[in-house]
Chain A
Amino acid sequence: MNYIVPQSELKIVGTRPVRPDGVDKVTGRATFGADMTLPGMIWGKVKRSPHAHARIVSIDASKALALPGVKAVVTAADFPEIANEEAFVGEGPMNFRDLSRNCMARDKALYEGHAVAAVAATSQAIADEAIELIDVRYEVLPHVIDVEAAMAPGAPVLHEDMFTTGVEPKPAKPSNIAKRVSFTKGDVAAGFAEADVIVEGRYTTQPVHQAYIEPHACVAAVSADGQAQIYSSTQGQFMVRAYSAKVLGWEIANLRSYPMEIGGGFGGKTVVYLEPLALLLAQKSGRPVKMMMTREDVFRASGPTSGAVIEVKIGAKRDGAIVAAREVLKYQAGAFAGSPIGPGCMCGLALYDLPNVEVIGYDVVSNRPKVAAYRAPGAPITSFAIESALDELACKLNIDPLALREMNGARDGTKTHYGVTHKDIGFLSVLEAARSHPHYKAPLQPGQGRGIACGFWFNIGGESSGAVHVNEDGSVSVVSGNPDIGGSRASMAMMAAEVLGVPMDQVRPIVGDTASIGFSFLTGGSRVTFATGMAVTQAAEKVVDQLKTRAAQIWDIPVDAVEWKDGKAWPAGLNAGAFEPLSVAQIALKAGRTGGPIGSEVSLNAQGAGAGFGCHICDVEVDKETGHVKILRYTAIQDVGKAIHPAYVEGQIQGGAAQGIGWALNEEYIYDKNGKLENAGFLDYRVPVASDLPLIEAVMVEVPNPRHPFGVRGVGEVPIVPPMAAVANAVRSATGLRMEHLPISPPKLRAAVDAEAKAG
């Protein structure tokens, strides 16, 4: 069924109820990964490489094992060798050999912080002591950190078997370039030949961490017959089960994975780090094992997103019509292949209707932690470059930057350079909302500047399961297989309640473990409200059908003579008014006599995710003396399809914008000459705090996605795409300085001011 109707016809969807899991989260009752304990539980800790690149010559754990209280030690020798096999999971490729070697170094440590051994002991203090007693001999190797240095001939090679794919002929020598990808549309040389104006730029971004406040944590238990349980803070309990089983060589059916509350992920909890180690330590010790990362571990050993170098060239006619665009992207992958170079190549130019495009991307390894997904993986990096270049173009042509985007913006029927044709998109509606917003016309004071930038994310669907059960008293349970990272329990309950016609508080949503609900791909790609919401909606519809059938039985009339309205069965047609309507509770009471329990589970592979577009307007004030950039006002406009719970949609937009502002102004990984991370803590890796930001106005534009019953589009990822360029463009507007390198931190801005003064 389709519920894309005016808001006035919806009772629950589109309202702002208190979230069902809210009270537990404001009172401290909610149980996150590290809050879990099991009887007899002991503590696991990881020994990590102090070197950026080193061959592991030997590991001697005998002294650690002799320490009273130490129950088990594991190294790579305890894990099976995994074949080199690439699978495509959700948003990107996954190589399980690399995953295994990232969880536990084998032969070589590839970055500072790489796990080389793990221990389990009866107390944290003993485990810490045991870590120090494990004797690892290294042969330190030359390392490489910078992406272009890693690509240069003669760079230290991380993987002797890495031969660049995507180039002909196949290279004869290994290198750090895992692959080259390219997309072409039209004739880019001919396009530039037609151009009246050309802008070119070379932009760089630094790796930034997702910086979820909750460090990774899990508790594992394994019984003597091989049945195992894993409780972890993750974006996907089914992912934890599949990846852990793969890394350990265990059968999936022997592993039951329980999702704990998750303290933020943003893509960073879409892989496993500790879980296979904890499971193996639990098996070896015969005791449940808890493992937690420290904040330092999180920075050094879990995925940030790529830093990158991007070269952009854009050509346009004098009236602003873009005739050609060329982009070369070099993305850091960390120690193993798999940067988000694919989405990077796709997303930056996907917003525009361009006749001639050439995009070339490189996936490059270096001695850094393996990158993990971070909110619209790859897109913010490319859009920083493209949206900055478009701002330059607008300046050069002396046209309004919004008008430039309106003129070239993608619309229904626009074919992207990667082959997809846009359908039912709302980009022009977003631009229209930006133009008519008072912020766009508000006056600025001297020293202040305004920038705009746009962003795109394709959003995904995928495999999801949802179950709706009517309980004996008429209350309703909704079970999904996706961890609730930002209010999805609320949106699942709201969609189910809307379909059933019952009040929200009659519906209790839970997140099931891997044995309680059918397979669901993880919470990521802005897919849950879309795909899992579709499964829950369909399950609720099946429950309505059952409720009608039961009412028909109770009344002894044909089922097609029963209507479902306002949460009740009503006799319709010839029987209208013949019986009193039956509520869910009244039907549930007689379920045993009319066929048994009422409920339904739907598993599906949701297709037709609707792409999302955003446009951000940012005002800044720049202090040229200190190099400090103050964000004065920020407005984020986005096509959200249909906001199921508008407050949590706004929250996604505001949170994404804030992360992007941090990326723009402060956040970066800083390495010393030995390849050691110098700022592995929240004091020196500075994420935005409350006093850094103004209120962030989120403007929701609703262009429904016709391929979802309520019109939903993913909303979580688009908002982190525009901010870096929006801030940089605002800085240019305030100072005339084009900041091509992130972050726009005080030292960088000071240097740019000085360079300009010197140039006179």
Chain B
Amino acid sequence: MSKHHVTTTINGEAVEFLCETQETLLDVLRNTLNLTGSKEGCASGDCGACTVIMDGKMVCSCLVLGVEAEGSSVTTVEGIADGETLHPVQRKFLEHAALQCGFCTPGFIVATKALLDANPNPTEEEARYWLAGNLCRCTGYDKIIRAVMDAAAEMRGEARAA
């Protein structure tokens, strides 16, 4: 079986890889590139644990083929922080204890960044519907939503909500 040669950009770096036709972007990220921060929870686009940003759009990397990454720009959870400086969304998740087991967390971090890139001032309802494709079984979403709203406020330069 011959493999496809793919040239792409991941977390700002030029990357080349070989993949088989049926391999998903998630398979490539995890098994070929060792970027294991994106998780496989369902492989059917229902849980959001593999969420990445591809050319500015939030996608489930389990629903994208590796070959589709050709010429695109992909941001994974590994590319959200700026070196040792956490992104405000990451910091707020920690401050609000918005994670328990932490398995869904990479997907939520990426999805929240995509939300706030698109809508810096979401209502709680907008945040809940945006994140409805990301399953969390531990938290009941309460602290996640609080972290998202607080991160949004901070990124808008507003004082932290009580």
Contact = CB atoms under 8 A, between A and B. Distances in A.
Q: Do A and B come from one complex?
A: yes
A682 B44 contact: yes
A19 B142 CA distance: 18
B101 interface: yes
Interface string B133-148: 1111111111111100
10 contacts: A23-B90, A26-B102, A37-B34, A125-B20, A263-B101, A264-B103, A654-B143, A689-B135, A695-B145, A696-B142
Contact of B93 (A26, A261, A266, A659): A26
A196 interface: no
A691 B132 contact: yes
Interface in A12-30: 16, 18-19, 21-30
Contacts, number: 189
Interface residues of B, number: 58
A400 to B, nearest CB: 27
A239 B86 CA distance: 36
A272 B139 CA distance: 25
Contacts of B125: 691
Nearest to A292: B40
A295 B103 contact: no
B77 to A, nearest CB: 4
Interface string B83-108: 00010001001111101111111100
A29 B42 contact: no
Given A26-B90, A26-B109, A295-B42, A651 B100 contact: yes
The 3 tightest CB contacts between A and B, nearest first, are: A28-B37, A263-B103, A658-B140
A213 to B, nearest CB: 4
Interface string A633-661: 00000000000010110111011111100
A28 B36 contact: yes
Interface size bucket, A side? 35 or more
Contacts of A658: 139-141
Contacts of A26: 86, 90, 93-94, 99, 102, 105-106, 109
A659 B100 CA distance: 14
A658 B49 CA distance: 19
Interface in B119-162: 125, 127-129, 131-146
A657 B139 CA distance: 9
A28 B38 contact: yes
Contacts of B70: none
B96 A486 contact: no
A266 B39 contact: no
A295 B97 contact: no
A428 interface: no
B6 to A, nearest CB: 18
A14 to B, nearest CB: 14
B20 A681 contact: no
A695 B142 contact: yes
Interface of A: 16, 18-19, 21-32, 34-35, 37, 125, 210-215, 261-266, 292, 294-295, 485-487, 645, 647-648, 650-652, 654-659, 681-683, 687-693, 695-696, 698
A486 B43 CA distance: 24
A687 B41 CA distance: 13
Nearest to A28: B37
A25 B105 contact: yes
Nearest to A25: B102
B22 interface: yes
A29 B80 CA distance: 12
Interface of B: 20, 22, 30, 34-44, 46-47, 49, 76-78, 80-81, 86, 90, 93-97, 99-106, 109, 125, 127-129, 131-146
A654 B140 CA distance: 5
B106 A28 contact: yes
B137 A264 contact: yes
B143 A647 contact: yes
A704 to B, nearest CB: 22
Contacts of A693: 128, 140-142
A683 B46 contact: yes
A149 B79 CA distance: 55
A690 B102 contact: no
A295 B39 contact: no
B49 A28 contact: no
Contacts of A487: 97, 100
A654 B40 CA distance: 25
A648 B95 CA distance: 11
Given A263-B39, A654-B143, A486 B137 contact: no
Given A35-B36, A125-B22, A213 B137 contact: yes
Contact of B137 (A16, A22, A37, A212): A212
B86 A28 contact: no
A651 B105 CA distance: 14
Contact of A682 (B40, B46, B100, B144): B46
B39 A19 contact: no
Nearest to B44: A681
